[in-house]
C-alpha cells in the first residue's frame, strides 16, 4: 500500500520547549492510525505536524514522497481539499455563524457550487447528526459538545479522503458520540486515511489499524493494533488500561477488552 504521509526525524519546538523529539512515522493510504499518550505528551502537536499545520523545526515531512513545504499552490490546495481536520477545542470561526462556518470551505474549494447546492449539502449534513439548532447562531451561542460536532461537520463537508481527528468524541454526549463514531466508521469503510488522537476505547476498537504511543514527545511504540494490544511494555499497558478505565487490568487480555468494547 502507498505511503501517503511520512515523517522523518521530526523535531518540534514551541516557546523554547521541545514538544516532539525525533519522530519518524509513516501513514499508509486507507489505513487508520490512532495516537495515544497522557495529556501534554505532544499528541495534538504531532497531529498538527502530520496535517501540515505546524512546520517542524527539524526533519522532513513528505506527502506522497514529495516535500510538503515545497509543494506548489495547486498541489497544496488539492491536499487541503482532500483533508479534514477536527480540532480538540473546535476552533470554529467565531465571527461567522454556523451556516457560514460550514459553507466557507465549500465556497473556497468548489467555487462553481450554487447557493442552493451549498444549502442542500449543509442541510443534509446537519440532519445526519440530528443537529436541530438554528444555523444562524454564532459558535459562542452553542454548547461545547455542539461546537465539537460542528467542527467535525466542517472537516467533512468537502468529503475528504484523509481525516485528522483530535479527540473527535471528547465532550460530546452519548448520542452525538455514537453518531460521530458511525460517520468515522463509514469513512473507514470507504478506505479513507484516518489519523486520530483519541482515548475513546469504542472508537479505537472500531477503526484502529495502527497505534502510536507517545511519551514526552517521543514514540514509545508504533505498531499494528493487533501487535500493540499484546505489548509487554508496561507504559503501553498503562495507557491502554487508562483508556479502558477500571475494566482493564494487567492480568486481563487487552485484546478481548478492546474487541468487545462498545462503550462510550
> Using a CB cutoff of 8 Å and minimum separation of 24, what contacts does 139-142 make?
139/90, 139/92, 139/93, 139/94, 139/98, 139/101, 140/94, 142/98
Minimum distance, C-beta of residue 109 to another protein, in the bound complex (Å): 7
Minimum distance, C-beta of residue 66 to another protein, in the bound complex (Å): 17
| Residue 168 in contact with another protein, rule: CB under 8 A | no
With CB under 8 A as the contact rule, the residue among 13, 62, 71, 76 that binds another protein is 76
| Residue 109 in contact with another protein, rule: CB under 8 A | yes
Q: From CA 153, how far away is CA 85, in angstroms rounded?
A: 10
Q: How far is CA 77 from CA 65, 71, 107, 155, in A?
A: 17, 9, 13, 15
DSSP codes of every residue in 187-198: HHHTT-EEEEE-
Closest CB to another protein among residues 37, 160: 160
| Residue 89 in contact with another protein, rule: CB under 8 A | yes
The H-assigned helical ranges of 22-112 are 43-50, 73-81, 98-109
Minimum distance, C-beta of residue 28 to another protein, in the bound complex (Å): 21
With CB under 8 A as the contact rule, the residue among 69, 93, 174, 250 that binds another protein is 93
Closest CA to 25 of 68, 62, 74: 62
Q: From CA 87, how far away is CA 165, in angstroms rounded?
A: 7
Q: How many residues bind another protein (CB under 8 A)?
A: 28
Residues 5-44, one symbol each (x = binds another protein by CB under 8 A, - = not), give ----------x-----------------------------
Closest CB to another protein among residues 12, 79: 79
Query: Given the rule CB under 8 A, which residues bind another protein?
Result: 15, 48, 51, 53, 76-77, 79-81, 83-85, 87, 89, 91-95, 104-105, 107-109, 111, 154-155, 164
Amino acid at each position: 500500500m502507498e505511503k501517503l504521509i511520512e515523517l522523518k526525524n521530526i523535531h518540534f519546538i514551541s516557546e523554547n520547549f521541545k514538544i516532539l523529539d525525533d519522530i519518524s512515522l509513516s501513514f499508509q493510504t486507507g489505513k487508520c492510525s490512532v495516537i495515544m499518550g497522557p495529556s501534554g505528551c505532544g499528541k495534538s502537536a504531532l497531529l498538527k505536524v502530520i496535517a501540515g499545520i505546524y512546520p517542524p523545526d527539524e526533519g522532513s515531512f513528505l506527502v506522497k514522497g514529495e516535500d510538503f513545504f515545497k509543494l506548489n499552490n495547486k498541489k497544496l490546495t488539492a491536499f487541503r481539499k482532500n483533508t479534514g481536520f477536527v480540532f480538540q477545542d473546535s476552533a470554529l470561526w467565531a465571527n461567522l455563524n454556523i451556516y457560514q462556518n460550514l459553507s466557507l470551505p465549500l465556497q473556497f474549494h468548489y467555487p462553481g457550487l450554487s447557493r442552493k447546492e451549498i444549502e442542500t449539502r449543509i442541510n443534509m449534513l446537519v440532519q445526519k447528526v440530528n443537529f436541530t439548532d438554528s444555523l444562524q447562531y454564532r459558535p459562542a451561542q452553542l454548547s461545547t459538545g455542539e461546537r465539537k460536532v460542528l467542527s467535525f461537520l466542517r472537516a467533512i463537508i468537502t468529503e475528504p479522503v484523509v481525516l485528522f481527528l483530535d479527540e473527535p468524541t471528547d465532550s460530546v454526549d452519548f448520542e452525538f458520540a455514537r453518531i460521530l463514531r458511525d460517520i468515522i466508521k463509514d469513512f473507514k469503510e470507504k478506505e479513507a486515511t484516518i489519523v486520530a488522537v483519541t482515548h475513546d476505547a469504542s472508537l479505537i476498537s472500531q477503526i484502529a489499524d495502527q497505534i502510536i504511543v507517545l511519551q514526552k514527545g517521543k514514540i514509545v511504540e508504533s505498531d499494528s493494533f493487533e501487535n500493540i494490544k499484546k505489548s509487554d511494555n508496561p507504559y503501553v499497558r498503562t495507557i491502554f488500561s487508562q483508556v479502558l478505565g477500571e475494566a482493564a487490568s494487567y492480568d486481563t487480555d487487552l485484546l478481548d477488552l478492546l474487541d468487545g468494547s462498545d462503550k462510550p
